[in-house]
Amino acid sequence: MTEIRHDWTKEEISEIYHTPILDLIFRAATIHRENQDYGEVQISSLISVKTGGCPEDCAYCPQAARYQTGVNVHAILPKEEVVAAAQKAKAGGASRLCMGAAWREVRDNRDFDKVIDMVKAVNELDMEVCCTLGMLTEAQAQRLADAGLYAYNHNLDTSEEDYKRIITTRTYDERLQTLEHVRKAKISVCSGGIIGLGETVEDRISMLKTLSNLPKHPESVPVNALVPVKGTPLADQPRVSVWDMVRMIATARIIMPKTVVRLSAGRTEMSVVEQAMCFMAGASSIFAGEKLLTTPNPDFDTDMAMFQLLGLKPREAFKNGRPNQVTEQQAVEA
Ligand code: SAM
Ligand code: DTB
Ligand code: SF4
């Protein structure tokens, strides 16, 4: 059994990250096979339940009110629309639905009540329900858990050192506090980052160190490639190399062996061969459906053809237990 460590140093992580690429993929694939069902990839579906008009200044984000990005701003969706989208996603093989809101933080108002109702309704469909709503208090996390929330996505995005260059309207510490609140409420933690923001390799390593040195590893780590959006300060960033995606995924896989590493934003720019490299390097989840939150994603049939070609099976819901049960990772760490 692979040892689960929470004391990785930057030097160790850097050494892994810089391993010659074929050795790196081999090592990551070996750890993946030892710790997870190699042929399974989880399909998650995203829905933006409240789009645009966000007060934050995240330099990558099309939903920040201060950038003119032409995003289709809308108030909170009716529950029926979310349930219909969840049913469609489930029929297409998705076992998780992630609902996103362009909020800085959750407020205890009617919109939050509506999200709580959506969580209950999607949970009744026997899907893993995930939310990404910005910062949460302990009480709000508990309310989501009581409604049946399975996971909460809250990304660190980049390193602590690089954070101010990307976001000035909140701190890294605030981000980490929300992750603590989510943990305390026994909700599965989903937290990762973006590459291609103009960060250095040291920043990537530093972010991976923060994630892997949390008291418990996140159950899920999304690795996003920046989708450059016109109107945002990062609109002209060059596309990241697929080798950088592979290195990030493989390094995350090696240092957090039980975690689901998610090949997230950026797949429209990647061929099936490139995505296959990411699966070999240890990615075991994708977002499927024609849209991420506001930007395009590969269409459903293209993804299904890829699953067929690569012999991948969509993962069933709740393989690692139900909310508030002992997770596979907790069992391993106990
Ligand atoms: N407002 C909430 C928050 O910031 O946590 C939830 C929604 S926010 C859009 C969720 C995540 O999407 C961000 O943390 C970021 O990692 C990712 N994201 C946003 N815009 C992106 C882009 N252009 N390219 C890649 N990832 C992006
Ligand atoms: C994550 O790490 N990536 C997803 C999900 N978590 C919420 C979001 C990607 C958003 C890409 C830009 C957009 O579509 O607006
Ligand atoms: Fe708002 Fe989230 Fe976009 Fe930042 S990433 S601007 S908090 S929606």
- Taking only the tens place, the pLDDT of each residue in 22-56 is 999 999 999 999 999 989 999 999 999 999 999 99
What digits encode the pLDDT tens for the residues 177-222?
A: 999 999 999 999 999 999 999 999 999 999 999 999 999 999 999 9
What confidence score (pLDDT) does residue 317 get? 84
Distance between Cα 30 and ligand 1 center (Å): 31
Instruction: Name residues whose C-beta falls within 8 Å of residue 202's C-beta, 6 or more positions apart in sequence.
Output: 10, 14, 159, 161
- Residue in 46, 50, 58, 166 to alter for ligand 3 test, most ligand atoms within 8 A of Cβ: 58
Average pLDDT value for the chain? 95
Please give the helix or strand (H or E) that residue 150 lies within, else none.
none
What confidence score (pLDDT) does residue 332 get? 40
Calpha distance 240→319 (Å, rounded): 33
Measure the N-to-C terminal CA separation of the chain; round to a whole number of Å: 14
Catalytic residue among 27, 143, 247, 262: 262
What confidence score (pLDDT) does residue 324 get? 54
Q: Is the pLDDT of residue 124 over 90?
A: yes
pLDDT category, 322, cuts 50, 70, 90? confident
Instruction: Name residues whose C-beta falls within 8 Å of residue 7's C-beta, 6 or more positions apart in sequence.
Output: 213
What digits encode the pLDDT tens for the residues 218-253?
A: 999 999 999 999 999 999 999 999 999 999 999 999
SS (H, E, C) 63-109: CECCCCCCCCCECCCCHHHHHHHHHHHHHCCCCEEEEEECCCECCCC
CB of 224 sitting under 6 A from ligand 1 = yes
Task: Give the SS3 label for residue 127.
Answer: coil
What confidence score (pLDDT) does residue 333 get? 46
CB of 63 sitting under 6 A from ligand 3 = yes
167 Cα nearest atom in ligand 3: 4
pLDDT category, 69, cuts 50, 70, 90? very high
Report pTM: 0.96
Q: Is the pLDDT of residue 8 over 60?
A: yes
What confidence score (pLDDT) does residue 318 get? 83
131 is catalytic: no
Contact 135, 106 (CB under 8 A): yes
228 Cα nearest atom in ligand 1: 23
CB of 36 sitting under 6 A from ligand 2 = no
More confident call, 21 vs 300: 21
278 is catalytic: no
Q: Is the pLDDT of residue 131 over 80?
A: yes
Calpha distance 246→216 (Å, rounded): 24
CA-CA distances (angstroms) from residue 155 to 54, 159, 303? Answer: 16, 11, 25
Instruction: Give the max Cα distance, the chain.
Output: 53
- Residue in 50, 63, 232 to alter for ligand 3 test, most ligand atoms within 8 A of Cβ: 63
Contact 214, 207 (CB under 8 A): no
Q: Tell me which of 155-159, 202-206, 314-318 is least confident.
A: 314-318
What confidence score (pLDDT) does residue 320 get? 74
Q: Is the pLDDT of residue 334 over 60?
A: no
